[in-house]
Amino acid sequence: MIKWATLLNTIRNSVLRDNQEDMELHEWKDQDLLAYCRWALVDLCQHTANPIELFINAESRDSKGALYDLSKAVHFYLPKHPYGVFTKTSSVAILKGNSIVHLDPNHTMQYGLQNSYYMFHPQVLNLSSPVGESSTLAIRYFSYFDAPTSLEDEINVPEWMESALIYRIALYAMTNSSVENAGIMQWSLQGNREQSPIREYQLVLMKLYEDILSRHEPQNRNMGIRK
């Protein structure tokens, strides 16, 4: 994990060269870089998303704070918004004692399919039948990474991904429109744009970003596909 304040300072001082001590003199505003961070976190999910393990039992509560009645409940709220097609990238099972019953993904919401699950609302898991008393619903899936909202918020990405996140945020900050809006003098857009300093730096940032991703295997998210 890394704090947004730490990441923000690194981007300003080491990548964007926007290291004015007076915050009022910063060329890129905090709210703009925060928006670029949200976009970058979504982009990174294409390579590696946030793995979630969720266990729901008789002591678990729904989105309204009420205890689940596992003898009747068939709808379960997922606290993190899933990334990708849930029925293709998830694993859902019912645990009772030493037994495990794996549920099959119902991709088309076909009526009457037993021991299955499907999604209608993006954060509500629907089962074909109740979990049952004294059982536990085990859910594994992938979600988006939480974007920070304050300087003290921590960004829960793998350690190797932190540098990639920095370069991706900087890429958004170094688009022509962003630089023009910020009025950055050291990144002058005068003359041939294809030969401008900003264009050359964009290519450097993209190479650094892609090099980091290439050193790590893309995440395998096919665990939900069952015969």
* 3-class secondary structure, 37: helix
What's the mean pLDDT when you consider all of the chain? 86
pLDDT of residue 200: 82
- What are residue 117's DSSP bridge partners? 105, 127
1 near 161, Cβ under 8 Å? no
* 3-class secondary structure, 137: strand
**Residue closest to 41 by CA, chosen among 222, 226, 168:** 168
Question: Low-confidence residues of the chain, pLDDT below 50?
Answer: 22-25, 181-189, 224-227
pLDDT of residue 225: 46
pLDDT of residue 25: 44
pLDDT of residue 91: 93
Q: With pLDDT > 90 as the criterion, what percentage of the chain qualifies?
A: 63
Q: Compute CA distances 70 → 76, 118, 136, whole Å.
A: 10, 18, 9
- What are residue 75's DSSP bridge partners? 126
pLDDT of residue 174: 84
141-159 pLDDT tens trace: 999 999 999 999 999 999 9
Structure tokens at 106: 């119902």
Q: How far is CA 50 from the centre of its chain?
A: 6
pLDDT of residue 222: 80
pLDDT of residue 177: 53
Measured CA to CA, the distance from residue 60 to residue 56 in angstroms comes to: 6
- Which ranges constitute the DSSP H helices of the chain? 4-10, 30-44, 161-173, 176-182, 197-214
